[in-house]
Structures are given as C-alpha cells and as structure tokens.
Amino acid sequence: MESQGIRRVVIAGGGTAGWMAAAVMSKTFGAQDLSITLVESPSIGTVGVGEATIPPILTLNRLLGLDEDELVRRTGATFKLGIEFRDWGGLGERYIHPFGHYGANLRGVSFHQHWLLHGDAPLGDYSMTVAAAREGRFTRPSADPKHIHSRLSYALHFDAALYAEFLREQAAARGVRHVQGRIEHVELDDRGHVAALALDQDRRIEGDLFIDCTGFRGLLIGEALGTAYDDWSRWLPMDRALAVPSQAVTPRTPYTRSTAGKAGWRWRIPLQHRTGNGHVYCSAHLSDDEAAAQLLDGLDSPASGDPRPLRFTTGRRQKMWDRNVVALGLASGFLEPLESTSIHLIQQGVVTLMSLFPDRGFAQADIDEYNRTMADEFEKVRDFIILHYHQTRRDDSDFWNDMRTMEVPGSLRRRMDLFASHGRVFIKPDELFTETSWVTVMLGQGLRPRNADPVAAAMPKGEIAPQLTRMRQLVQNGVEAMPTHDQFIAAHCAAE
C-alpha cells in the first residue's frame, strides 16, 4: 500500500458524518479521479439527533456550493445566534453565549477588560448578537464592515436527517456510489489494514482508504482494528440522553436553550416544523424515569411521541486515523452537545483529511499530524464543556457538588486561574472557542477576576467610558433596525 496511490475510498455509514464526508470528498476531488462508495444500512438507521450547529458550518455549506435559503427551506431550519444557558452558574441565573464579539477592543486592550472597569450595563448589552437574540430578531450580517450589522455572526438549527439527505443528493450528483446493505464482516489483510467490507447477500466492497462513519459502534476503527478509546467520564459523567420532538412554537427563538437540571441539562432547539428537545444526564445520579419526567415537564408544547433513549461514553479514539481507516463522527468519539460541536468536529475531521490526503499512499507523518490535530480539537472542546459544569455555585444535589469540586484537566485549570487573577484569556488564532466564548461562560457562571488589568486601568476613564456607552447605543439601534426572526424566515426561506 505504501507505494500505491489511493484510488478507492469507501465510506461506511450514511448518517451526518458519512454524507458530509462524501459531499466534501466528491466536491474536492470529483468522483472520476477517485472512486467513492458509501455503504449504509437503512435497517440500522442513524442516531437521528444533531440539530444545532456553530458558525463554521456556513463556511462548509459555501464550500459545497449550497444555497443557504434553499437549505433552510428544505431542512426546516431556523437561525441561531448563540445559546442561552439557564440555571448553570446558580438556580435562576441565565446568560447568552453569543457568536461574534462584544463591543470592540480599545487601544489594543480586550473589550471585557474595559467593561469590567467601566461597564454600566450587563455585558450582553454590548453584543449585537446577544441583544438580537434576546429580542427575537435576526438578519444576515452586512458585508459592509462599517455597518453595525457586520458585527453579527450566526449558525443554523436544522433537521439533521434532512441535511444528510440534502448532502446525499449533492454527492450522488457528483458520482458517489450509494450502496444499501448491512456490513456483516470487516476483512483485514496480513498487515492488519482493512481490505474489504463483506455485506449481506454475499456482496463485497474493496477499498484503499476506509472512512468509518458507523456511529457509536465504530465498526471498523473499534471492532475490527481494536483502536483504543480514551474515556473522559471522570470529568464528564453524563452517559445517557433522551430526545423527543414537540410541536413548533412561535415566535421561534433565534437561539438554542440549555437548562441545567439536577444531574445534567435539557436542550430546546426551535425548527420551523417542530421543536427538538432532549435531556442529557448522568445515570449514576438520575434514573431514566426521573429524566423522562423532567424532560416532559419542561416542554413548552405537546410532545410528538415518546422520548427516545441514547447511551454514550464521553471520550475519543486514541487514534482517529489508524492504518487505512479514518473515523469521523460518533465513531471517532463523543462529547455531549452542550456547545453544539459534534457536527463541527466532523467538518474539522474531513477538512483536515483533505489537507493531508494520502493520494500517494499512507505516510506515518500525515497520520500522526491528523491524530495530533484532531486530539487537540477534541481536548479544547472537552475543556470548554467541563468549564460549564465546574464553574458553578450550585450545591443543590450530589451531582453538582461532585462537578463543582472535581479536579479538572490542567489545561482548563490554567485558563481558569489566569482569568481569576486578572481576567486574562490567551487564545491561539485558530482556536474554535474565542476570547468571547471563554469570557462569556466564566463571567456568566460567576468567575470574577480578583484584579483589574493594569493596562486597561492605566487608561483614562473619561476617554474609555463614553466609548462603551456609544457601543451600547449602536447595538440598540442596530437591533431595532432588524426584522423579527420569524419575519426574516417568512420573507426569505420558509419551509413549504
């Protein structure tokens, strides 16, 4: 294999991960130069949840040449400006984690440092995105950098099954071969590489590169290759979820809602045709019946069916690329959807694979680079999620007492200590979660810096404070000039 080029790619699994991989690969290489086959089993089905996304999905959609209005119409999507967190820092508290930024940095110093010294209104009042979310308004960002609406950033809530279907059409039109059948056996060659997938009815699919998108089971990466899994449940002990749709409610909020419960949290995701709801919880602290009762009690419209149970172990494959298998989606690892990152991690995996594509055969340096990059991505998301559970004053259950007092990873401890001291946040340019994200959750859940930033404090209040007031007024004016979220959808992209 080392000397041979890769000509045959086989994608195992036709959930969001499988079809994202097929769409990106066929768009990148065309299916003439590379034969791409996707195998899925309709009788096994997909996990069927995964409705909230984050802004990088828009870049992927543009790269794939998808028309956003058509996509929104066909997937019953709504627009998402951020996530509202309820009861996380303490019972009765709430804040919005927005996409985009607060105000603007002044004289090279981060906005939040000035706000900590001179802010005369809640932090969210300085964010166009938070203010719009709170008032249920939406418009797309202006391309004119001087326009106040250029400060907006957004993502989508969509029906993941319809999104996968949309991508399937794109991929099929570019020549991806779609095979329906159950993978019964994974054949290995004498080096331990996957040689072929044996399907029901004596069918067999050979390949050079295999993409494992078979969901939690990880049929190729886990069951056939035995690639180890790093279990992170000592920090994130949530291991079950219940998902249930309910009737659509208007006005549709342009944000996801996450409400912390006794031993986990519940999501609420508004789509055009329904609302997605779910409860992620820790089975050591909450029974399935209690979890279902809390979920159903918290719905704001009648449920359409019974809650569907899901089980998982938080963590990731030690190697997401092992030999000639690259795992994407749930086969590569799982982090609860508190910050809607799973689809993004699929995107990151496919894009990273494209940038290291083994066209001339497998090179260990490429494989190692892929594994390092993806491990880093997963770990940064992991730390950010742990922050939500650990930075809390909640003491109303054993669960919260455990989470509040646990030992967190050193990488997170360092970030929290830096912020607790002087409100400092150090972010590398390519990090998924920006300074805004870290500042929002740390302040939103009650971590206040002990000291002022000396550089910000050295600047004259008479000069800085009026600029903060002006930024807040600009935000308010900008929000008032927007249509409501429902009006925007009706005008541009209402589902038929």
As annotated, the active-site residues are 80
CB of 480 to ligand FAD, least distance (A): 31
Position 182 contacts ligand FAD (CB under 6 A):
yes
Position 46 contacts ligand FAD (CB under 6 A):
yes
Helix runs in 209-323, H state only: 288-297
Sheet of strand 333-334: strand arrangement:
229-231, 315-317, 333-334
Residues 484 and 133: their CA atoms lie apart, in Å, by 10
Q: What residues does 280 pair with on adjacent strands? A: 241, 265
Residues 274 and 271: their CA atoms lie apart, in Å, by 5
- For ligand FAD, the closer of residues 383 and 453 by Cβ is 383
Query: Per-residue x/- mask for ligand FAD, residues 233 to 272, rule CB under 6 A?
Result: --------x-x-----------------------------
> How many separate helices (H) and strands (E) can be counted in the chain?
15, 21
Position 52 contacts ligand FAD (CB under 6 A):
yes
> Which residue in 41, 397, 469, 487 binds ligand FAD (CB under 6 A)?
41
Residues 268 and 283: their CA atoms lie apart, in Å, by 21
CB of 13 to ligand FAD, least distance (A): 3
- For ligand FAD, the closer of residues 346 and 403 by Cβ is 346
**What DSSP designation does 219 have?**
I
Position 207 contacts ligand FAD (CB under 6 A):
no
Position 186 contacts ligand FAD (CB under 6 A):
no
Place of tokens 């998902």: 243
Position 15 contacts ligand FAD (CB under 6 A):
yes
Q: Is 215 part of any known ligand binding site?
A: no
> Which residue in 11, 14, 76, 388 binds ligand FAD (CB under 6 A)?
14
Q: Is 15 part of any known ligand binding site?
A: yes
CB of 289 to ligand FAD, least distance (A): 18
Q: Is 343 part of any known ligand binding site?
A: yes
CA distances from residue 389 to 222, 344, 346, 432 in whole angstroms, order as listed: 29, 21, 24, 19
Region near ligand FAD per CB under 6 A, out of 37-45, 136-144, 168-176, 230-238:
37-45
Q: Is 330 part of any known ligand binding site?
A: yes
- For ligand FAD, the closer of residues 200 and 417 by Cβ is 200
Residues 425 and 118: their CA atoms lie apart, in Å, by 19
Task: Supply φ then ψ for residue 336, to 5 degrees.
Answer: -55, 155
DSSP 116-131: HHH--S-GGGG-HHHH
Q: Is 148 part of any known ligand binding site?
A: no
Position 26 contacts ligand FAD (CB under 6 A):
no
CA distances from residue 60 to 28, 201, 324, 397 in whole angstroms, order as listed: 12, 37, 25, 41
Residues 134-173 touching ligand FAD, rule: CB under 6 A, are 160
Region near ligand FAD per CB under 6 A, out of 14-22, 82-90, 91-99, 393-401:
14-22
> Which residue in 81, 205, 219, 412 binds ligand FAD (CB under 6 A)?
219
CB of 141 to ligand FAD, least distance (A): 22
Asked if residue 24 lies in contact with residue 351, where contact means CB atoms within 8 angstroms, the answer is: yes
Enclosing H/E stretch for 17: helix 16-33
Position 213 contacts ligand FAD (CB under 6 A):
yes
Asked if residue 21 lies in contact with residue 343, where contact means CB atoms within 8 angstroms, the answer is: no
CB of 392 to ligand FAD, least distance (A): 22
Residues 205 and 19: their CA atoms lie apart, in Å, by 18
> Which residue in 25, 26, 50, 132 binds ligand FAD (CB under 6 A)?
50
Position 291 contacts ligand FAD (CB under 6 A):
no
Asked if residue 162 lies in contact with residue 273, where contact means CB atoms within 8 angstroms, the answer is: no
Residues 99 and 290: their CA atoms lie apart, in Å, by 33
Residues 370 and 375: their CA atoms lie apart, in Å, by 8
Give the closest residue to 337 by CA, choosing from 273, 272, 276: 276
Q: Residue 317 corresponds to which amino acid? A: R
- For ligand FAD, the closer of residues 271 and 468 by Cβ is 271
Position 17 contacts ligand FAD (CB under 6 A):
yes
Q: What residues does 260 pair with on adjacent strands? A: 265
Position 215 contacts ligand FAD (CB under 6 A):
yes
Q: How many binding residues for ligand FAD (CB under 6 A)?
A: 38
Site residues, ligand FAD (CB under 6 A): 13-18, 39-41, 44-47, 49-53, 160, 182-183, 213-215, 217, 219, 241, 243, 278, 310, 312, 329-331, 337, 340, 342-343
Which residues belong to the annotated binding site?
14-17, 80, 330, 339, 343
Which residues belong to the annotated binding site for FAD?
14-17, 330, 343
